[in-house]
Structure 1
Amino acid sequence: MLTIIREFLITLIFAILVLLITYLNREENSFFQVNHLQAYFLNQRQTTVDYTKINTIDEYWYWLENSFVSNIRAQQWYNGDIPQYLNGFLNDKSNRLIGWATMRQLRVKSELCPNQRVILTCQHSYSFSNEETELFQTGWKNQTIEDEIYSSSILKAFNYTTSDESDTYTYAGEFGTYRGGGYVYEFRGRLSDMKTNLSALHQLDWIDEKTRAVFIQLTLYNPSVQLLMAVTLLAEFLPTGGIYTTARFEPINFYTFTSILQLVCTIFYIFFIIYFIIIEIRLLFKLRLKYFHQFWSIIQLGIIGCSLGSAGVYFWRFQETNRISHLFEQTNGYIYINLQLAVYVNDILTFLLGYCCFFSMIKFVQLFRFNQRVSLFAETLKYCAKELISFSIMFAIVFISFLSLFYLLFVSKLSSCSSLLRTAQMLFEMTLMKFDASEIMGADAFLGPFCFTLFILLVVFVCLSMFFSIIIDSFHHAKDNQKEDQVMLSFMVKKFLRWIGLKKQTQSEIQEERDCRMRSQYFDPIENFPDRMDQLLEALNRIYINQKIELSRLEKAGL
């Protein structure tokens, strides 16, 4: 019983430490900051400058010139006062822009069309192989026009900048993965100068049919909550002519060990991980390959692996924090600092800490194995494991068949079937009966209802019924062969409550304990009968042997 109590306390304390470290690593003001900036930059309530509803290049330029550029400079207050001491702040007067905002474009090369009799050149989708990296003059021309004079910012916007020069990294969008380089325009100077430059870039067709992606990146700092924010506004220009816009607002808090509690929890957490490593190494040497056949060994390895990984990523983030802090102190925040790498590192740390919490909570299932319900749940999964694996293979074949069918039939008719991943998501929603059938019914008068009915019959009615049958059969088998270990939990709880004085023994429990003691002292005489018979036979055998010895002695003496 003491071993079980010790195991329970160790797991409980470790889970509390993991939860504290994870939640202390998050900033409670992050949601409100992100919510404010989304409303501030995307303008979803204003139909004329709604970033999420942009469909053409002209609409994108209109949003840039009439909404975005005005938002990144602090202007007059509502009563006409000059915004004093707000140099570098946004127009919301609460977030400071670190350095300047950048607008980076990625372009593709012109290629010969397959059918050159109609159109000679074509612009395909973006890829690393067909990315344009040449240097151009204004208007994407190869020769210099002497009559026109533009600012250095506009001239630089037509020159390719590598990822090392711009301190940017590869970014995964909805329709492609884009390199860190590109043609960069920096939003620097006064508001009037930026508006003039944007108007000039618009006239020079800086965004044209060869444009495939435009990134707007800026780094913000809110001194009120001491929170950094990496903002990425991506517009993907598709070869079909449409524009797909996405926005990411990533809050980052670089301040580590802001309280004594966080430092103490981290120290104890390290000691727990060292203790777990020693225990698992001993078990590994003792069980060898059988160690990896145990489910809870995999869970423990997951905790150790994620903990060690989070420690390594934490030091990586600490190094990146020092680099950014050093740049900020040197320039007083008047140089562009890209937080893209810091966001990636912070996301990895969040994933690892999240999995640590997950594995720590899963371990409580093992501790409550003495509970009847939990024990029954674990035994049910144990009995149905092999059947579920076989069923999963069969279900995967059926699901992939319907995935191919729906994707090929409705790829051009339904937005939910525009990719394999979205089609799979739609089919899972149909399996859970949380799908609007009117959309697929309207896609095709015959194929829509036919495919929908076929999927419901084979997957929902047949496959799910088989799945539930496997679970129910395993449940009955586990219930019939249930162990008596769950009695231990109730016994431990009763003993603990009596020990601390919260529960007293009833008269029936006292009488039951007396009966148990009497039964332990009582011996049934019939149980001792075989031993008594053995003793009798041994005594008779000794008497017979002694008489034989005495007779032989008398014969030798001649008596």
Structure 2
Amino acid sequence: MQRCKRWLWGTTLTENTSNNRELFVRTTLRELLVYVVFLVDICLLTYGMTSSSTYYYTKAMTDLFVNTAGEGGVRFQSISTMADFWTYAQGPLLDGLYWTKWYNNQSLDSKDQSFIYYENMLLGVPRMRQIKIKNNSCKVHNDFQDEISGCFDVYNNNKEDDFSFGLINGTAWTYHTEKEIKGSSHWGLLTTYSGAGYYQDLNRTKEESAVALTELLDNLWLDRGTRAVFIDFSTYNANINMFCVIRLLVEFPATGGAIPSYQIRTVKLIRYITTWDYFILGCEMVFCVFILYYIVEEILELRIHKLSYFKSIWNILDIVVIMLAIVAIIFNIFRTVKVDNLLGKLLEQPGIYADFEFLAFWQTQYNNMNAVNLFFAWIKVFKYISFNKTMTQLSSTLGRCAKDILGFAIMFFIVFFAYAQLGYLLFGTEVESFSTFGKCIFTQFRIILGDFDYDAIDRANRVLGPIYFITYVFFVFFVLLNMFLAIINDTYSEVKEELSSQKDELQFTDIIKQSYMKTFMKLKLKKEKISDVQKALHSGSGEIEFNDFRDTLKEMGHADHEITAAFSQFDRDGNQILDEDEQERMKIELRQKRVCLII
């Protein structure tokens, strides 16, 4: 049992390899080979869930619902007022959602089901939802109270309007909590919005949906209190087995105007249909076996080293990879069950809103998690190749200059954040890339890489703009960045010089050479033994007795048991004598063995 455990889970941390360089290299090599198989499996899993069709599906939906303009020239990205929103909703939106005719005006004959671009089935009905802010949610200055009758604050979750308004009856005029409509919060361009609000589900036909939109427009559904309008719908393409979950958002800030944004998630929610899908299923099973294998390995290492186990960054990385993998496995099972339930409900009631937003969001997070896990899995390869002197240069360089880099980083970010605050205060009111402090930080990183808009800075402040730009480039790019590179280069030179002067330890190539030499020596000895037996056969004439055969080979240094085994193999009648036929068979087999060894 102990031997089996060592063979399966023997690692450099479970074996005593501190004083045995050859055992260390051999154990590391075995770990590397097992890990390469695991890495290939996780790559197949990750890339097996993606397809180039995903991009083109997203592009097709973006072109149709975001970039297509209506008769009035309004497209989604050009919405700047509430009037523009209604023009878009009654024009490009309805035209894109409901396809009832071919390009030659012949009927699609799809009953009341819409197939967008003739290929993408609209699932259920679209939903339009708005979030409002209460009147007098902010305070008007005394000097303007006579002229300004109402005050609607910027969006805040605690100031949401939850009173019925307008026609009062119907979901569009009655407030619904996030729990009631099973909504979820959304991170917009201005702020994060809740999943509550007033909603109107459209219909399965274009005519009925147009009537519903006209009713909303005529009864002033959007007003001064409106802060955001969401349009949600989902499509399914059976050709590529992909779902496209679309959310169009128009934010109405307290400043007036409208800010459009959109989110299109193309995901694969139904997993197992084609032969390739079932191959990926097999890879998933292998992946589960590997995770179980590595869990046992880490437990064994933890039992041996206890708390000192966490001193190594590689051990922590092992745990991170395993934990992410376990979460991915659990979500995979949850997603499969959830999709089956949701599709079953949708097939029973095709006229309801198909809420795939929740699944699409978590599927996207699942894909992101797999991407991060695959990244860590590739980085972990360095753990197994670190026994090579050349491969340790990077880790040694970074480890040795860590303190110098830390001291430099403090100095760098003091200057960097000082310039970020200066840029925000100087240009924040006019230049979009400096409109928030966070954007300032990323803008300054882009300036270091040569990506900047100098004209916008110059227009914002004709005096301080050029001064800000010139001094920032001089101090950060020419001085600080080159100091950082100098620290790295100097440390690398020291590490490389030390490694070149060190005595060469046993390397991976040495193990291969040793194995090759051992195999070569075995083949050489075997070849010599065959030659000796052939000489013994040629030394006799006619029949060869066992005693003569044994005496000849013993003089050449062969053992009794080897001689007896070789003789009895061809002495079929057991009379201790090799006749001419038996000798001939022995010669033929010896020649064949010799040829095989030469090849």
Question: Which category describes the TM-score, using the shorter chain as reference length?
Answer: 0.7 to 0.9
Q: Is the 8 A contact 1:370 1:487 kept in 2?
A: no
Task: Give me the whole-angstrom Cα distance separating, in 2, the residues matched to 1:329 and 1:75.
Answer: 21
Which letter does structure 1 place at the counterpart of 2:66?
L
Task: Give me the whole-angstrom Cα distance separating, in 2, the residues matched to 1:472 and 1:495.
Answer: 37
Secondary structure in 2 aligned to 1:48?
A: coil
Q: Does 1:132 align with 2:146?
A: no
Q: Does 1:468 align with 2:492?
A: no
Q: Is the 8 A contact 2:131 2:228 kept in 1?
A: yes
Name 1:35's counterpart in structure 2: 59
After superposition, what is the alpha-carbon deviation per residue over 1:494-544, rounded to whole angstroms, capped at 9, x for unaligned?
A: 56788999xxxxxxxxxxxxxxxxxxxxxxxxxxxxxxxxxxxxxxxxxxx
Q: Does 1:374 align with 2:394?
A: no
- TM-score, normalised with respect to structure 2: 0.76
Cα distance change on mapping 1:224 and 1:102 into 2, 3 Å: same
Name 2:104's counterpart in structure 1: 79
Cα distance change on mapping 1:205 and 1:334 into 2, 3 Å: closer
After superposition, what is the alpha-carbon deviation per residue over 1:331-355, rounded to whole angstroms, capped at 9, x for unaligned?
A: 3x33222012102221221122112
Task: Note the C-alpha offset of 1:300.
Answer: 1.0
Name 1:353's counterpart in structure 2: 370
Task: Note the C-alpha offset of 1:283.
Answer: 2.2
- Give 5+ residue unaligned stretches, structure 2: 1-24, 521-599
Name 2:151's counterpart in structure 1: 122
Task: Note the C-alpha offset of 1:45.
Answer: 6.5
Cα distance change on mapping 1:195 and 1:87 into 2, 3 Å: closer
Cα distance change on mapping 1:340 and 1:163 into 2, 3 Å: same
Task: Note the C-alpha offset of 1:356.
Answer: 1.6
Matches within 5 A, 1:72-111: 72-85=97-110, 87-111=112-136
Which letter does structure 2 place at the counterpart of 1:407?
Y
Name 1:67's counterpart in structure 2: 92
Name 2:510's counterpart in structure 1: 491
Name 1:291's counterpart in structure 2: 309
Q: Does 1:438 align with 2:455?
A: yes
Which letter does structure 1 place at the counterpart of 2:77?
T
Q: Is the 8 A contact 1:105 1:214 kept in 2?
A: yes
Name 1:547's counterpart in structure 2: none
Task: Note the C-alpha offset of 1:34.
Answer: 0.8
Task: Give me the whole-angstrom Cα distance separating, in 1, the residues matched to 2:330 and 2:404.
Answer: 40
Name 1:186's counterpart in structure 2: 201
Q: Tell me whether 480-489 or 407-416 shows the greater mean CA deviation.
A: 480-489
Which letter does structure 2 place at the counterpart of 1:330?
E
After superposition, what is the alpha-carbon deviation per residue over 1:360-395, rounded to whole angstroms, capped at 9, x for unaligned?
A: 100222333355543211211111122222222332
Matches within 5 A, 1:377-396: 377-396=394-413
Name 2:556's counterpart in structure 1: none
Q: Is the 8 A contact 1:215 1:235 kept in 2?
A: yes
Match 1:176 to one of 179, 191, 211:
191
Cα distance change on mapping 1:76 and 1:376 into 2, 3 Å: same
- Percent of pairs with identical residues: 25
Which letter does structure 2 place at the counterpart of 1:319?
V
Cα distance change on mapping 1:209 and 1:499 into 2, 3 Å: farther
Task: Note the C-alpha offset of 1:216.
Answer: 0.1
Q: Does 1:402 align with 2:419?
A: yes
Task: Note the C-alpha offset of 1:487.
Answer: 6.3
Task: Give me the whole-angstrom Cα distance separating, in 1, the residues matched to 2:515 and 2:217.
Answer: 77
Task: Give me the whole-angstrom Cα distance separating, in 1, the residues matched to 2:394 and 2:373.
Answer: 23
Cα distance change on mapping 1:31 and 1:188 into 2, 3 Å: same
Match 1:479 to one of 484, 490, 496:
496
Secondary structure in 1 aligned to 2:159?
A: coil
Which letter does structure 2 place at the counterpart of 1:377?
L
Name 1:425's counterpart in structure 2: 442
Name 1:459's counterpart in structure 2: 476
After superposition, what is the alpha-carbon deviation per residue over 1:306-353, rounded to whole angstroms, capped at 9, x for unaligned?
A: 11121222223223223213213423x332220121022212211221
Name 2:179's counterpart in structure 1: 164
Q: Is the 8 A contact 1:219 1:231 kept in 2?
A: yes
Match 1:208 to one of 223, 235, 238:
223
Cα distance change on mapping 1:418 and 1:90 into 2, 3 Å: farther
Secondary structure in 1 aligned to 2:452?
A: coil
Match 1:307 to one of 309, 325, 345:
325
Matches within 5 A, 1:247-266: 247-258=262-273, 259-266=277-284
Cα distance change on mapping 1:250 and 1:267 into 2, 3 Å: same
Q: Is the 8 A contact 2:267 2:364 kept in 1?
A: no
Which letter does structure 2 place at the counterpart of 1:286?
I
Matches within 5 A, 1:18-33: 18-33=42-57
Secondary structure in 1 aligned to 2:256?
A: coil
Task: Note the C-alpha offset of 1:91.
Answer: 4.6
Task: Note the C-alpha offset of 1:443.
Answer: 1.5
Cα distance change on mapping 1:124 and 1:12 into 2, 3 Å: same
Task: Note the C-alpha offset of 1:424.
Answer: 1.1
After superposition, what is the alpha-carbon deviation per residue over 1:169-201, rounded to whole angstroms, capped at 9, x for unaligned?
A: 111111111111111112115423322332332
Secondary structure in 1 aligned to 2:391?
A: helix
Which letter does structure 1 place at the counterpart of 2:31?
E
Cα distance change on mapping 1:284 and 1:4 into 2, 3 Å: closer
Q: Does 1:339 align with 2:384?
A: no
Task: Give me the whole-angstrom Cα distance separating, in 1, the residues matched to 2:90 and 2:209.
Answer: 9
Task: Note the C-alpha offset of 1:357.
Answer: 0.6
Q: Is the 8 A contact 2:202 2:209 kept in 1?
A: yes
CA RMSD of aligned residues (A): 2.3
Q: Is the 8 A contact 1:411 1:418 kept in 2?
A: yes
Which letter does structure 2 place at the counterpart of 1:81?
Q
Q: Is the 8 A contact 2:112 2:204 kept in 1?
A: no
Task: Note the C-alpha offset of 1:219.
Answer: 1.5
Q: Does 1:50 align with 2:82?
A: no
Name 2:542's counterpart in structure 1: none
Count of residue pairs brought into register by the alignment: 486
Task: Note the C-alpha offset of 1:298.
Answer: 1.8
Q: Does 1:243 align with 2:258?
A: yes
Q: Is the 8 A contact 2:69 2:92 kept in 1?
A: no
Secondary structure in 1 aligned to 2:100?
A: coil
Task: Note the C-alpha offset of 1:44.
Answer: 4.6
Cα distance change on mapping 1:273 and 1:324 into 2, 3 Å: same
- Give 5+ residue unaligned stretches, structure 1: 143-151, 502-559
Which letter does structure 1 place at the counterpart of 2:125?
W
After superposition, what is the alpha-carbon deviation per residue over 1:443-468, rounded to whole angstroms, capped at 9, x for unaligned?
A: 21111111112211221122212211
Secondary structure in 2 aligned to 1:481?
A: helix
Which letter does structure 2 place at the counterpart of 1:95?
N
Task: Give me the whole-angstrom Cα distance separating, in 1, the residues matched to 2:282 and 2:108.
Answer: 44
Q: Is the 8 A contact 1:133 1:182 kept in 2?
A: yes
Q: Is the 8 A contact 1:110 1:121 kept in 2?
A: yes
Secondary structure in 1 aligned to 2:266?
A: strand
Q: Is the 8 A contact 1:370 1:485 kept in 2?
A: no
- TM-score, normalised with respect to structure 1: 0.82
